[in-house]
């Protein structure tokens, strides 16, 4: 049976499987499926994304897309056991499968939640505040993100058939850009399974998600401005594909990386940090049989501790049970294929030939537990034993260049912090480096030296040793990617990743025009005064609706009452001489918080009504001090309205400005309220 693709709104399989790649069970060599795209209409798929997919996603706001992402996450959660079962055939234990499957589902949940909390319920995203470009405020500028008009073509690595495509799909979907997923051949059947699960729900907007199960010949020639290539895989494939990508098409790449983990000089054997370091090293060596782009390829430890680290690691590795993940008790499966096993062994040989000493493990084919529980050799399975290869500080370049993509790590000794940093940097740019130390000055000295060479740095100390998510786990909240050899790209990182699929444009115009094109009120744009805006539910409230208050005098008695009532008797409010000696105040002045409280008293409409709650202030600035006898007034203008998709209310951001009797700006801030829809 040839693995289907899902293109142009329908499932598709080639007429025959001539020339198809055969995908086999990693433990037994049994055939699982065949992969071929002979005869597929890739141009049609691309056009379907650009037309149908763009239209269906373009009809939704960020929040509506975010709600769908949560539904997708729920569907996959209900069916994750099926994905674990398929992953076992690729060599994954349940722990390995959870990294990929639950990790991918977690990305969907996180982007759903961030989309609803951090993006507006709209289609544009505003970046930073408006800039005033003319003295009288009639000419403004602002950065605005709009979604790209094309398709995202994802090319994925074999080792994360669920998490890999989903960590790109979630932000692209949220941005409103359709995705075409091309999984790597050896695990394409796992990607096909989750795509099918989502398609079966009927919830995926037409054209928003397509799947090409196999090669994509000629596709790159059809790409154009507005499309994106999001690649994950080896550096050599990245270079070849980048060269094929037409000018103007965004090319994001996440490639292999010779990640490092540094043990601090304080973390000697017997300390909790030493134990945490070894535990982490052990996890990174064996999880997914070392087939993680973020795995530790170089453990950089004080020269005096090299033997101790090797011994501690050896003690742990004796407990590893290598075998078919279908057998009870197996803790490490095979790598994905025999070809991959041979590739790993070639990498190990390069390390040994360059002078490395096999300190732990063996390069011989291991005895393994078979699916039926018997132990012995398994020539058709892609099994590799964990290997640790030791080097001194003068480790040859090969150590910093060869990624043996399996359970393999090099152990390198160092003497000084500078030497440790230099060794990290010789990786040529990494996805992640972890540093295990309780010595905060060592960590502080290291960060500026290794930061430029890493996409992520994790400090492991005795405080977070138990709670850390680990060296090898990118989290959706933080960026994943790395400079140089690691591909130079960036993924995840919350809303940052959504913006990779949008174009930032500096938009200039009058306040009226910026208000009209962004849907957010800008100072100087038209306002409407009349019925108190706190009487209006979202169905009637409009941006620009304003309440302008009358004046209120601020007396010395007010200041003293407030000071004694709150306990804030800071000298600037209480002591005329001391206040006058302060460079900012003419004498005693009102508390900023008193002014904000008076302002609320001036603008509020007290009766029960559509406004449910005040949930905060943002961007509060006190500008001109208020002296006893000054009079203040406030203007409150509806600035941004964000109805919630799944509630009967929404958020209203109000522009608040307090001025004194001379029209000087006293304070400005945003008031955040929750308001009913009806």
At what angle are helices 62-78 and 80-89 packed, to 10 degrees? 70
User: Which tokens in the block code for residue 176?
Assistant: 């409103």
Q: How far is the CB of 428 from ligand NAP (least distance, A)?
A: 13
118 is catalytic: no
Among 96, 192, 227, 403, binds ligand NAP (CB under 6 A): 403
Quick one: 114 or 480, whose CB is closer to ligand NAP?
Answer: 480
Q: Which stretch binds ligand NAP (CB under 6 A): 178-186, 269-277, 390-398, 593-601?
A: 178-186
Q: Which stretch binds ligand NAP (CB under 6 A): 235-243, 319-327, 521-529, 663-671?
A: 235-243
- Three-state DSSP state, 308: helix
Quick one: 483 or 487, whose CB is closer to ligand NAP?
Answer: 487
Q: How far is the CB of 291 from ligand NAP (least distance, A)?
A: 7
Quick one: 393 or 428, whose CB is closer to ligand NAP?
Answer: 428
How many alpha carbons fall within 13 Å on the CB side of residue 462?
A: 11
Among 98, 122, 216, 574, binds ligand NAP (CB under 6 A): 216
- Beta bridge pairs of residue 144: 126, 505
Rule CB under 6 A: say whether 185 interacts with ligand NAP.
yes
Rule CB under 6 A: say whether 405 interacts with ligand NAP.
yes
Q: How far is the CB of 558 from ligand NAP (least distance, A)?
A: 60
Quick one: 157 or 327, whose CB is closer to ligand NAP?
Answer: 157
Rule CB under 6 A: say whether 159 interacts with ligand NAP.
yes
Rule CB under 6 A: say whether 230 interacts with ligand NAP.
no
Count of C-beta atoms within a 10 Å radius of residue 362: 11
Among 45, 119, 241, 579, binds ligand NAP (CB under 6 A): 241
**Chain centre to alpha carbon of residue 400:** 27
- Give, for 232, the enclosing helix (H) or strand (E): strand 228-232
Phi, psi (rounded to 5 degrees) for 323 = 170, -170
Q: How far is the CB of 340 from ligand NAP (least distance, A)?
A: 7
User: Which tokens in the block code for residue 103?
Assistant: 């990790």
Catalytic residue among 167, 192, 284, 293: 293
Among 25, 254, 630, 635, binds ligand NAP (CB under 6 A): 254
Rule CB under 6 A: say whether 433 interacts with ligand NAP.
no
Rule CB under 6 A: say whether 492 interacts with ligand NAP.
no
Query: CB nearest ligand NAP: which residue?
Result: 233
Quick one: 35 or 541, whose CB is closer to ligand NAP?
Answer: 35
Q: Which residues contact 212 (CB under 8 A, 6 or more apart)?
A: 5, 7, 37, 40, 42, 45, 180, 181, 182, 219
Question: What is the 8-class DSSP label of residue 394?
Answer: T
Check: CB of residue 242 under 8 Å from CB of residue 487. Answer: no
**Chain centre to alpha carbon of residue 491:** 6
- Give, for 300, the enclosing helix (H) or strand (E): strand 298-302
Rule CB under 6 A: say whether 37 interacts with ligand NAP.
no
Q: Which stretch binds ligand NAP (CB under 6 A): 141-149, 248-256, 267-275, 546-554?
A: 248-256
Q: Which stretch binds ligand NAP (CB under 6 A): 157-165, 407-415, 557-565, 664-672?
A: 157-165
Q: Which stretch binds ligand NAP (CB under 6 A): 71-79, 91-99, 236-244, 501-509?
A: 236-244
Among 158, 169, 383, 622, binds ligand NAP (CB under 6 A): 158
Kindly state the number of chain residues that form the binding site for ligand NAP, as judged by CB under 6 A.
27
- Beta bridge pairs of residue 323: 369
Beta strands in 348-488 (DSSP E): 357-361, 368-369, 375-376, 387-391, 408-414, 430-436, 454-460, 479-480
Among 14, 487, 493, 625, binds ligand NAP (CB under 6 A): 487
Among 56, 146, 237, 510, binds ligand NAP (CB under 6 A): 237
Rule CB under 6 A: say whether 169 interacts with ligand NAP.
no
Closest among 312, 331, 313 to 322, alpha carbons compared: 331
Interaction pattern, residues 360-399, with ligand NAP; x per rule: CB under 6 A: ----------------------------------------
Long-range CB pairs of 611-614 (<8 Å, 24+ gap) are: 611/534, 611/673, 611/674, 611/675, 612/649, 612/673, 612/674, 612/675, 612/676, 613/673, 613/674, 614/671, 614/672, 614/673
254 is catalytic: yes
User: Across the chain, which distance is largest between two alpha carbons, in Å?
Assistant: 93
Catalytic residue among 167, 254, 284, 491: 254
User: Which tokens in the block code for residue 16?
Assistant: 């025959």
Closest among 155, 210, 163 to 185, alpha carbons compared: 155
Task: Compute the distance between CA of residue 461 and CA of residue 583 in angstroms, rounded to an integer.
Answer: 44
Task: Compute the distance between CA of residue 348 and CA of residue 332 in angstroms, rounded to an integer.
Answer: 19
Rule CB under 6 A: say whether 409 interacts with ligand NAP.
no
DSSP 508-563: EE-HHHHHHHHSS--TTS--EESS-GGG--TTT--TTEEEE---EE--HHHHHHHH
Q: How far is the CB of 159 from ligand NAP (least distance, A)?
A: 5
Check: CB of residue 295 under 8 Å from CB of residue 419. Answer: no
User: Which tokens in the block code for residue 553?
Assistant: 């005098």
Question: What is the 8-class DSSP label of residue 49?
Answer: I
Rule CB under 6 A: say whether 234 interacts with ligand NAP.
yes
Among 27, 87, 156, 210, binds ligand NAP (CB under 6 A): 156
Interaction pattern, residues 440-479, with ligand NAP; x per rule: CB under 6 A: ----------------------------------------
On the 0-12 / 13-18 / 19+ scale of CB atoms within 10 A, 353 is exposed
Quick one: 344 or 563, whose CB is closer to ligand NAP?
Answer: 344
Closest among 355, 418, 426 to 391, alpha carbons compared: 355
The interface with ligand NAP within residues 281-310 (CB under 6 A) comprises 293
Q: How far is the CB of 61 from ligand NAP (least distance, A)?
A: 30
Q: How far is the CB of 186 from ligand NAP (least distance, A)?
A: 6
User: Which tokens in the block code for residue 222?
Assistant: 């059809």
Q: How far is the CB of 589 from ligand NAP (least distance, A)?
A: 55
Among 72, 125, 160, 173, binds ligand NAP (CB under 6 A): 160
User: Which tokens in the block code for residue 212?
Assistant: 């090409």
Rule CB under 6 A: say whether 155 interacts with ligand NAP.
yes
Quick one: 2 or 257, whose CB is closer to ligand NAP?
Answer: 257
Rule CB under 6 A: say whether 556 interacts with ligand NAP.
no
Q: Which stretch binds ligand NAP (CB under 6 A): 90-98, 234-242, 592-600, 663-671?
A: 234-242
Rule CB under 6 A: say whether 483 interacts with ligand NAP.
no
Taking the chain, what is the end-to-end CA distance rounded to the nearest angstrom?
Answer: 55
Task: Compute the distance between CA of residue 531 and CA of residue 522 in angstroms, rounded to an integer.
Answer: 21
Task: Compute the distance between CA of residue 474 and CA of residue 103 in angstroms, rounded to an integer.
Answer: 9
Q: How far is the CB of 403 from ligand NAP (least distance, A)?
A: 6
Q: Which stretch binds ligand NAP (CB under 6 A): 58-66, 251-259, 270-278, 585-593?
A: 251-259
Chain positions contacting ligand NAP, by CB under 6 A: 155-160, 182, 184-185, 215-216, 232-234, 237, 240-241, 254-257, 293, 403, 405, 431, 486-487
- Would you name the residues annotated as active-site residues? 254, 293
């Amino acid at each position: 049976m040839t693995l289907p693709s899902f293109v142009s709104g329908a499932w598709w399989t080639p007429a025959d499987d001539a020339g198809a790649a055969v995908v086999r069970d990693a433990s037994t060599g049994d055939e699982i499926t065949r992969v071929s795209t002979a005869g597929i209409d890739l141009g049609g798929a691309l056009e379907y994304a650009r037309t149908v997919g763009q239209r269906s996603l373009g009809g939704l706001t960020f929040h509506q897309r975010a709600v769908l992402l949560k539904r997708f996450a729920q569907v996959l959660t209900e069916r994750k056991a099926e994905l674990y079962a398929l992953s076992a055939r690729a060599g994954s234990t349940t722990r390995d499968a959870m990294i990929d499957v639950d990790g991918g589902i977690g990305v969907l949940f996180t982007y759903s939640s961030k989309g609803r909390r951090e993006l507006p319920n709209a289609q544009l995203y505003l970046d930073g505040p408006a800039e005033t470009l003319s003295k009288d405020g009639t000419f403004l500028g602002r950065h605005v993100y709009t979604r790209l008009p094309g398709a995202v073509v994802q090319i994925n690595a074999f080792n994360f058939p669920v998490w890999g495509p989903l960590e790109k799909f979630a932000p692209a979907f949220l941005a409103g850009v359709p995705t075409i997923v091309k999984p790597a051949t050896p695990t394409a059947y796992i990607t096909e399974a989750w795509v099918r699960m989502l398609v079966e729900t009927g919830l995926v907007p037409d054209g928003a998600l397509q799947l090409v199960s196999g090669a994509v010949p000629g596709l790159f020639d059809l790409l154009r401005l507005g499309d994106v290539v999001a690649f994950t895989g080896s550096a050599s494939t990245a270079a070849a594909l980048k060269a094929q990508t037409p000018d103007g098409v965004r090319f994001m790449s996440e490639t292999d990386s010779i990640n490092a983990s540094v043990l601090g000089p304080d973390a000697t054997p017997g300390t909790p940090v030493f134990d945490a370091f070894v535990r982490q090293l052990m996890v990174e060596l064996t999880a997914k049989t070392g087939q993680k782009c973020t795995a530790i390829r170089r453990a950089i430890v004080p020269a005096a501790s090299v033997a101790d680290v090797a011994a501690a690691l050896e003690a742990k590795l004796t407990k590893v049970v290598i075998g078919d993940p279908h057998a009870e008790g197996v803790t490490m499966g095979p790598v994905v294929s025999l070809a991959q096993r041979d590739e790993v062994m070639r990498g190990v040989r390069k390390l040994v030939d360059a002078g490395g000493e096999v300190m732990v493990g063996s390069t011989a084919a291991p005895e393994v537990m078979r699916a039926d529980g018997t132990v012995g050799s398994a020539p058709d399975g892609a099994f590799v034993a964990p290997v640790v290869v030791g080097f001194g500080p003068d480790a040859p370049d090969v150590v910093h260049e060869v990624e043996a993509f399996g359970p393999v790590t090099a152990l390198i000794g160092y003497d000084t912090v500078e030497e440790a940093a230099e060794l990290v940097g010789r990786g040529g740019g990494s996805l992640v480096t972890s540093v295990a130390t309780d010595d905060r000055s060592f960590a502080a000295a290291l960060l500026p030296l290794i930061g430029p060479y890493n996409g992520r740095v994790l400090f492991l100390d005795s405080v977070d040793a138990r709670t850390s998510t680990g060296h090898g786990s990118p989290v959706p909240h933080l960026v994943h990617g790395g400079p140089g050899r690691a591909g130079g790209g960036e993924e995840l990182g919350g809303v940052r990743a959504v913006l990779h699929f949008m174009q930032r444009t500096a938009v200039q115009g009058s306040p009226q025009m910026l208000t009209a094109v962004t849907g957010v009120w800008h100072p100087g744009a038209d306002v409407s005064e009349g019925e108190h805006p706190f009487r209006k539910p979202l169905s009637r409230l409009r941006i620009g609706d304003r309440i302008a208050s009358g004046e209120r005098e601020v007396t010395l008695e007010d200041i003293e009452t407030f000071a004694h009532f709150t306990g804030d008797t800071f000298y600037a409010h209480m002591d005329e001489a001391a206040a006058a000696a302060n460079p900012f105040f003419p004498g005693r002045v009102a508390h900023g918080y008193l002014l904000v409280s008076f302002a609320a008293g001036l603008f509020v409409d007290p009766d029960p009504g559509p406004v449910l709650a005040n949930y905060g202030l943002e961007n509060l600035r006190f500008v001109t001090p208020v002296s006893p006898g000054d009079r203040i007034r406030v203007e409150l203008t509806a600035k941004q309205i964000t109805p919630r998709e799944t509630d009967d209310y929404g958020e209203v951001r109000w522009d608040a400005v307090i001025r004194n009797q001379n029209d000087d700006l006293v304070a400005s801030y945003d008031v955040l309220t929750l308001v009913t829809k009806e």
